[in-house]
Amino acid sequence: MKKWAWLLIIGITFSFILSLMPPSYASSQKSVKIANVHRDFYISRNGIITIIDNYEVRNDGLDSVTSIYIGLNEDYLQKLTYIKCYLSDSDEELDLQAIPNQGNGFDQWIVLFKTPLNPKDHKNFSIEMEFVDLISISTEKRVAIQFNKYPSSPYLIEQFDETIFGPSDCTIHDPFTDTDKAPPVNSPTETNIKAWSTETINFYITFTTGTPMYGFISVKQEIDLNNIGYIQVAEEHEVRNIGPGSMDALSSIKFAIPSDAKNIMIYDLYGQLSFNEKSGGSFNNISISLTPNRYAIRIGEKFTYNVEYVLPIENYMSFSGDIVSVNIDLLLGRFNSQVYHFISHLILPKGSMIQSFTGDNIIINCIDGKPTITFDDYGITDSSNAQVNIQYNSAGSYWFILGHPLIIALIIGVIASLYVVFKRAIPTTGIKIERKTVVPSSIVREFCFLYEQKIALMSEIDKLDKQYQRRKLRSREYRKLLKNTENNISDIDKSLDEIKPEFRSVGGRYKEIVDKLEILEGEKTTIKDSLVRLKARYKRKQIKPIAYRKLNRDFKKRINKIKSNMERLVQELRDYII
């Protein structure tokens, strides 16, 4: 074949390979221009800050664009409670997809347009973000604030300006003119803001009244579905006066509960608290007065109280035969402030079986035989959401039986009939049944030896997992060692399965120990699966680092406790060896 023919073949092949490669970030986005960004900076009375960046983008290229990149300085990511994107003219929400951190100090998202941005066209959209812990308390009724001056963007911003809004009872020290002004404060228009700007804006606000700021340190909530006709809600609120320093002491606490709540009780360690209730649409506003029968809360002090009320069952649950559907937002109340730590337990009837559920940051446990849905998160605001949809089978629950009089009547009838039949049929002379009362020592000894080996191998798997996560084992070596260990456990299980009938035939404590060991193994497997899902959600940034560390620590504590219980039960069996 001639030389020119080889060159032609190589050229065609290279062109084909290039056509299969995805377009680079630069080539697909270089035609995007940010013509203008207007920022609205809202400061709430209780320290929650909302920032809305209103973008106008332009396509200067020849091809249509279907997405655009935005970012956020990674220093502020843990203080972000939510982020959303919507079209400015219609409020239609746009999809945001988080992408891995590129190592440049910024976390990034892709804004996906529902209709392409065609060449020479403009598109307007808004990015709304809510933050907590951006303020620092100083003295003399003053609060200091620091944040990135410009939106974090991989593109040059041709024109930028912002407006700072604050509470009506404050003045804002204008960082642009170095003067104190009543809100709102407008910045001058700036041009040609470079990409990924890290310049910060620092300013402070001074309150003109003595009403202090406060935050909810924690809210612990239990929603109990084990009652007939209503849902019982019990909450514990811990509140702290966060200043500023020269403010008056806190004499009232305000929050809201669902408008259909009844039988409201608010109390602390010493008895009932005085409160007022005011209707307000979906929520009723509650105002607790701490004077004169309690004391006002000074700067830095905490106050804990309890709230109890009931909700009508028909507003949150529906029934279809044995299947019960629950649709509820676990954030039942509104606090008009940051809740630093919120934990809610939704307790299902004892014996019920969950068939399906949807919800984020949800963990399923079983407490005292009752399936319990747990939501545990940090940095909660009124914009947060903990909506869950659950379907469970109530046929095995006491609640189901008590709620159906016909079933109760049938059970009573069957018991009465059986009593009459057996009263007549049972002979006066009994039949003597002989049954073993102990398991031979040799069998107990063999069972304990095998189970101790199994516990050791299960611990070995935990060590292998830890070494693999820390990259001390290569993937191939890890899989080989894991397979060998699992095969050894499988062989031990076969031997144990041959011995277990001996324990069950004797019954009593022997049977209880064997059954309990099997239950503990199942619980450990379930917890390890939950731990894997937790790590996956953390890698996808669906859970905050502080929540991940706490839940990860709790899961590992439960695994260690299960191992200790297994060893204790095996030792108890050894004590039975005669």
Q: pLDDT 10s digit of each residue in the chain, 578 long? A: 566 666 667 766 666 554 444 343 444 467 889 999 999 999 887 778 899 999 999 999 888 999 999 999 988 988 888 899 999 877 788 999 988 777 888 999 999 999 999 999 999 999 999 888 788 776 567 788 989 999 998 999 999 999 999 888 788 988 888 888 888 999 999 999 999 998 999 888 888 776 677 888 899 999 998 877 789 999 999 998 877 765 678 888 999 999 999 999 999 988 889 999 998 788 999 999 988 778 888 877 889 999 999 999 888 998 887 888 999 999 998 887 888 889 999 998 887 888 887 877 788 888 777 889 999 888 788 778 888 988 888 765 554 445 455 556 677 777 877 777 666 555 544 444 444 567 788 888 888 888 888 888 888 888 888 888 777 888 888 888 888 888 888 888 888 888 888 888 888 888 888 888 888 888 888 888 888 888 888 888 788 888 788 888 888 888 888 888 888 888 888 777 75
3-state class of 80 per DSSP? Answer: strand
Same domain, 371 and 225: yes
Phi, psi of 448 (to 5 degrees): -60, -45
pTM comes to 0.55
Task: Round to whole Å and give the CA distance between 368 and 315.
Answer: 27
Task: Round to whole Å and give the CA distance between 84 and 110.
Answer: 11
DSSP state of 332: -
Query: Residue 419: inside a domain, yes or no?
Result: no
Cα 82 to Cα 51, 352, 379, 385, distances in angstroms: 11, 34, 10, 10
Q: Show Cβ contacts of residue 42 under 8 Å, excluding neighbours closer than 6 positions.
A: 49, 50, 51, 52, 165
Query: Residue 464: inside a domain, yes or no?
Result: yes
Query: Residue 72: inside a domain, yes or no?
Result: yes
Q: Any idea which residue has 């604030």 for tokens?
A: 145
Q: Any idea which residue has 């996808």 for tokens?
A: 540
Same domain, 242 and 388: yes
Q: Show Cβ contacts of residue 570 under 8 Å, excluding neighbours closer than 6 positions.
A: 448, 451, 452, 455, 517
Q: Which of 155, 173, 207 is the last residue of a domain?
A: 207
Same domain, 336 and 361: yes
Which residues partner with 380 through β-bridges? 339
Do 224 and 212 form a contact (C-beta atoms < 8 A)?
no
R_g over Cα of the chain: 32
CATH code: domain of residue 133: 2.60.40.1730
Q: Which of 372, 395, 418 is the last residue of a domain?
A: 395
Task: Return the ∠ at Cα 152 (arms to 150 and 154), rounded to 5°.
Answer: 125
Query: Residue 529: inside a domain, yes or no?
Result: yes
Task: Round to whole Å and give the CA distance between 428 and 433.
Answer: 16
- pLDDT of res. 61: 87
Same domain, 451 and 377: no
Closest by CA to 144, choosing from 239, 244, 250, 249, is 244
Query: Residue 571: inside a domain, yes or no?
Result: yes
Same domain, 179 and 258: no
Same domain, 312 and 348: yes
Q: Which two tokens stand for residue 323?
A: 């299947």
Q: Which letter, b or e, does each residue of 408-426 get, where b requires 16 or more Cβ atoms within 10 Å of its Cβ?
A: eeeeeeeeeeeeeeeeeee
* Tally of residues, the chain: 578
Same domain, 562 and 465: yes
Which residue type does 531 have?
L
Do 302 and 238 form a contact (C-beta atoms < 8 A)?
yes
Task: Round to whole Å and give the CA distance between 418 and 430.
Answer: 19
Give the sign of the dihedral formed by CA 176, CA 178, CA 179, CA 180: positive
Task: Round to whole Å and give the CA distance between 45 and 213.
Answer: 7
Query: Residue 19: inside a domain, yes or no?
Result: no
Do 300 and 241 form a contact (C-beta atoms < 8 A)?
yes
The torsion defined by the Cα of 65, 67, 73 and 77, in degrees rounded to 10, comes to 180
Query: Using N-to-C axis directions, what is the helix angle for 545-575 and 441-469, rounded to 10°?
Result: 160
Query: Residue 565: inside a domain, yes or no?
Result: yes
Same domain, 191 and 317: no
94: domain range? 29-207
Same domain, 274 and 305: yes
Task: Round to whole Å and give the CA distance between 198 and 71.
Answer: 12
Q: Show Cβ contacts of residue 278 under 8 Å, excluding neighbours closer than 6 positions.
A: 284, 285, 287
Task: Round to whole Å and give the CA distance between 389 and 216.
Answer: 27
Q: Which of 176, 207, 238 is the last residue of a domain?
A: 207
Do 330 and 408 form a contact (C-beta atoms < 8 A)?
no
Same domain, 108 and 123: yes
Do 361 and 386 form a contact (C-beta atoms < 8 A)?
yes
Do 59 and 32 form a contact (C-beta atoms < 8 A)?
yes
The separation between CA 535 and the C-alpha centre of its own chain, rounded to angstroms, equals: 13
Cα 437 to Cα 30, 41, 447, 498, 571, distances in angstroms: 83, 77, 17, 19, 19
Same domain, 387 and 486: no
Same domain, 187 and 252: no
- pLDDT of res. 396: 59
The torsion defined by the Cα of 112, 116, 121 and 126, in degrees rounded to 10, comes to -20
Q: Show Cβ contacts of residue 203 under 8 Å, excluding neighbours closer than 6 positions.
A: 144, 145, 164, 172, 173, 174, 175
DSSP state of 431: P
Query: Residue 422: inside a domain, yes or no?
Result: no
Which residues partner with 342 through β-bridges? 219, 377
Structurally, the chain folds into a number of domains equal to: 3
